[in-house]
A and B are shown apart, each in its own frame.
Chain A
Amino acid sequence: MTVLKRRLGQYLYLAPTFLMLLLFVYYPIGVNFGYSFFEFNSFNPEKLFVSFENYIELFRDPIFYTSLKNNLMYVAISFIFQVLGGLVLAAILEDTIFRKVAPFLRTIYFIPVLISMAVIGILFTYIYNPEIGLLNAFLELIGLGNLATGWLGSTNTAIFAVIFVSQWQSVGYAAMLYILTIQKIPQELYEAATIDGAGKIKQFLYVTVPQSKEMMFVLSIYTITGSFLVFNEVYVLTGGGPSNASQVLSTYLFDKAFVDMESGYASAIANVMLILTLIFYFIQGKIFKTGEE
């Protein structure tokens, strides 16, 4: 009786969260899955069943592939800068040499995280501006004037200009999390490594990196799914332009749903995004073999 009671109590405690998740996460996912087999728009409640038509069209759509490629680039670059670069940055900041300035630098790196993306967007449109932009002026100053271009308006550079803004904003956040992890690493390990004759780089590779594995796993999920779902940065800076060159899946979805009014097609894009992020999640789980902590 008491056991049953306790069990019941446990479920009762879980119930609110579970219901909320069910209502606001799983139910919409299910409904959206159904929507992707129809052709409709929000004006016209009548839905036309088209079975897999939306998916077939999607896999033939060159803009879908541009978006996918841009997302993958986003993933790759964010992984290098945030998951790997963040760790290096954290290790440097935690090094004894920087002890005095570390708190100051930490704040500097962390501040961009606190600024709203809309503000950063406006800031960087001015930095990238071809007429009055700081970036082009800087390039001219150091004699690289021939590299100056309209960063956000050129099909070759637009997506990279956007990705860079993301890195600028997020690397501080990653570093902050790594700093916490590094501070938790027992000092004895470093002492032992020093006695064994390991230099700074070897200490980093054989002590810091393995000890931060859990955090790397968490951060890589965070960065990779984040890069797949990225919207604000692209929307504020380029709106997916010029000529769809910097389109990512979520901005393309938005365009389809709210500009072109092809809701069914947009649902199909959403489902593909969900599947992609799930695949990445499972692969990561396998590679890192973690989750014990």
Chain B
Amino acid sequence: MKRLIFMLMLLFLTLIIAGCSGFAPNKEASSDSTSASSDTDAETTITFLHRWPNEPYKTYYNEVIAEFEEQNPDINVEQTTALNDQYKQKVNVIMGGDTPPDVFFTWVGKSFGDKFINDDIALDISSYYEEDKEWSENIMAQEPFMKDGKHYGVPLYTDSKVFYYNKNIFDQYGLEAPETWDEFISTLQTLKDNGETPLMLGNKAPWAGSHYLTAVNQRMVSQEVVEQDYTTPEFTDPKYVEALEKIEELSPYFNDSPNSVGHEEARNFFLNEAAGIMFMETFEAPYLEEASFEWGTFNFPSITEGEGSDSGIIGAPEGFMVSKKSENPDAAMKFLKFLTSQPMGEKLMKEVGMPSSVIGAVNEDTASEKEIELTNMIAEKEYILNWIDQGIETTVSKPYMDGVQMLISGSKTPEEIMEQVLAEAEKVE
């Protein structure tokens, strides 16, 4: 009996050892066979990290990569993905490692883009911009990816945020898209009086509320001061407190307990006609195509007592960078240029509704009238304020955003929030 057990264990051990040693060549063999089927003999492999594991984007990237590999049989593209909130953590961990991806997605501003540039993570790709003017001159919004005149990234699209409203609900109560703050409040009041949820907000992850914050700051505080505070945070202007008071004014019109609802969840509620209005990003427009109701959009209303811009919009371009540790920067750039080529830009707009940074990619063939309208709005506006959660130091934006959560639930006053923000701002050198 004992002998039998011993023999069995020996067998087991042998299996394990055999399994271990067999693993590596096996893997190679299998990847060889798959690549052999897709493209003849791949020599370089570039890794690509982005934040769209979800449909419809997933199909878009799969198709784009397949097409790229077909055109460049010597390059293999391997993608890794994580959705928005997870991506923010993942990219921080992966980019600090020894083998970062060759091409990676980034936002612009202090939280991500600038950090990658300043900490020597992103490769200076100015020479590629110089070499291929035909390509580079056709790209909008390069500026946020630059530092000291050097290029560190390629924008994919520019994102902004507007209020989407349900026209069915608006028509029912004879409402029109509001333009001023007072009109906005009276619209919300009418909706509330009629038992509708006026504003849908999913603020579980506090960036959703921070977009309201960005917008009211833009309206209330003068452009000069805001831009100054985005460079070196001070936030001493008393108008910042008033801006928070504006959000406080909105809090009775939100859905119940917005802090316990996620943004995606809230969007689904809105699509199911659970609310009249929702503040959403421009690239979320395709989701509304699934909606059973007529919809429209309006910009964040103007505020008369504000010192800021009446018509500016919030948002920023988002795009890709090449990692400095990349062994194949040429192949990586080739892929990036392919991603931001005219046909791919058009495909991006047409298939997933993202307003591509490629000039002319958003046209009658690729976009609906409303989408063109939204894209033109972004292209025409001179004052686009970056999201506060991306634009300023995270140490400052965090208490600020948490503060907005507390403000909405009524457990903190605007003064208390600004006090905390000021305290954190002082610590920034």
B93 CB within 8 Å of chain A: yes
Quick one: which of B96, B206, B257 contacts A130, CB cutoff 8 A? B257
25 examples of A-B residue contacts, CB within 8 angstroms: A42-B96, A43-B120, A125-B262, A130-B260, A131-B261, A131-B269, A131-B274, A149-B257, A150-B256, A150-B258, A151-B260, A153-B257, A153-B261, A239-B85, A241-B205, A241-B259, A241-B402, A241-B405, A242-B204, A242-B206, A242-B402, A242-B405, A243-B403, A243-B406, A261-B92
Establish whether residues B394 and A131, one from each chain, have CB atoms under 8 Å apart when the complex forms. no
Whole-angstrom CA separation of A130 from B96 in the bound complex: 39
B96 contacts A153, CB within 8 Å? no
Minimum CB–CB distance from B381 to chain A (whole Å) comes to 31
Given contacts A239-B204, A239-B205, A259-B394, contact A42 B93 (CB under 8 A): yes
Decide yes or no: A260 and B258 within 8 Å by CB, A43-B119, A153-B409, A243-B405 being known contacts: no
- Which residues of B pack against A, CB within 8 Å? 85, 88-89, 92-93, 95-97, 115, 119-121, 203-206, 255-262, 265, 269, 274, 394-395, 398, 402-403, 405-406, 409, 411
A contacts, CB < 8 Å to B: 41-44, 125, 128-131, 149-155, 238-239, 241-244, 258-261
Determine the main DSSP class of B at the interface with A.
helix
User: How long is the Cα–Cα vector from A43 to B89 in the complex, in angstroms?
Assistant: 13
Residue from A41, A131, A241 whose CB has the most chain B CB atoms within 10 Å: A131
**In the bound complex, CA of A244 to CA of B406 (Å):** 10
Chain B residues in 8 Å Cβ range of A244: 402
Inter-chain contact total with CB atoms closer than 8 Å: 89
Knowing A43-B95, A241-B405, the reply to whether A128 touches B395 (Cβ < 8 A) is no
Across-interface contacts of B256 in A (CB, < 8 A): 130-131, 150
Select B261's contact among A42, A130, A155, A260, beta carbons within 8 Å: A130
Asked, given contacts A241-B206, A258-B92, whether A153 binds B402 with beta carbons under 8 Å apart, the answer is: no
**Which chain B residues lie closer than 8 Å to A150 at the CB level?**
256-261
Asked if A259 and B274 make an inter-chain contact with CB atoms under 8 angstroms apart, the answer reads no
Measured CB to CB, the closest approach of chain A to B398, in angstroms, equals 8
State the Cβ distance, B209 to closest chain A Cβ, in Å. Answer: 10
**How far in angstroms is the closest Cβ of chain B from A238?**
8
Given contacts A130-B260, A153-B261, contact A242 B95 (CB under 8 A): no
Residue of B269, B398, B403 with most partner-chain A CB within 10 A: B398
Q: Please measure, in the bound complex, the distance between the C-alpha atom of A154 and the C-alpha atom of B258, giving whole angstroms.
A: 9
**Residues on the A chain within 8 Å of B85, using CB:** 239
**Interchain CB contact under 8 A, A129 and B259:** no
* B88 / chain A contacts, CB cutoff of 8 Å: 259
Extra contacts, 19 of them, besides A41-B96, A242-B259 (Cβ < 8 A), are: A43-B115, A43-B120, A128-B260, A130-B255, A131-B269, A150-B259, A150-B261, A152-B260, A153-B409, A155-B411, A241-B259, A241-B402, A241-B405, A242-B206, A242-B409, A243-B403, A259-B89, A259-B92, A259-B394
Q: Which A residues are CB-close (under 8 A) to B205?
A: 239, 241
Q: Are B261 and A43 in contact (CB under 8 A)?
A: no
Cα distance, A128 to B85, chains bound together (Å): 21
Contact B92 A129, beta carbon cutoff 8 Å: no
Q: B258 contacts A153, CB within 8 Å?
A: yes
Contacts A43-B119, A242-B406 known; A153 to B269 CB distance under 8 Å? no
The minimal Cβ–Cβ distance linking B271 to chain A, given in whole angstroms, is 13
Q: What 8 pairs between A and B have smallest CB-CB spacing?
A: A150-B257, A153-B260, A42-B96, A153-B259, A150-B260, A243-B402, A242-B259, A43-B119
What is the minimal beta-carbon distance from B304 to any residue of chain A, in angstroms? Answer: 31
Chain B residues in 8 Å Cβ range of A149 = 257
Contacts of A41 in B (CB 8 A): 96, 119
Quick one: closest A residue to B197, CB to CB? Answer: A131
Cβ-defined contact, A155 with B406, below 8 A: yes
CA distance A152 to B119 in the complex (A): 37
CA distance A34 to B262 in the complex (A): 39
A128 CA to B18 CA, complexed, in Å = 49
Shortest distance between the CB of A122 and any CB in chain B (Å)? 11
List residues of chain B with CB within 8 A of the CB of A242: 203-204, 206, 259-260, 402, 405-406, 409
Instruction: Using known A-B contacts A241-B259, A260-B395, determine if residue A43 contacts B96 with beta carbons closer than 8 Å.
Output: yes
CA distance A258 to B88 in the complex (A): 9
- Distance between Cα atoms of A244 and B120 in the complex (Å): 32
Provide the bound-state CA to CA distance between A143 and B313, in Å.
46
Smallest CB–CB gap between B256 and chain A, Å? 4
Once bound together, how far apart are the Cα atoms of A11 and B411, in whole Å?
61
* Chain B: CB-nearest residue to A45: B96
What is the bound-complex CA distance between A285 and B121, given in angstroms? 49
Contacts of A130 in B (CB 8 A): 255-257, 260-261
CB < 8 Å neighbour of B260 from A43, A129, A259 = A129
Q: How far is the CB of B15 from chain A (nearest CB, A)?
A: 18
Residues of B within 8 A of A151 (CB): 260
**Alpha-carbon distance between A67 and B390 when the two chains are bound, in angstroms:** 26
In the complex, A151 Cα to B261 Cα: how many Å? 10
Min C-beta distance of A231 to chain B, whole Å: 13
**Given A43-B96, A242-B206, do A129 and B261 touch, yes or no (CB 8 Å)?**
yes
Q: Give the shortest distance, in Å, between B301 (CB) and chain A (any CB).
A: 26
Determine the residue in chain B with the shortest Cβ distance to A238.
B204
Nearest residue, chain A, Cβ from B411: A155
CA distance A23 to B358 in the complex (A): 52
* Docked CA distance A125–B89 (Å): 22
Write out the residue numbers on chain B whose beta carbons fall within 8 Å of the beta carbon of A238.
204
Contacts of B269 in A (CB 8 A): 131
- Closest Cβ neighbor of B116 among chain A residues: A43
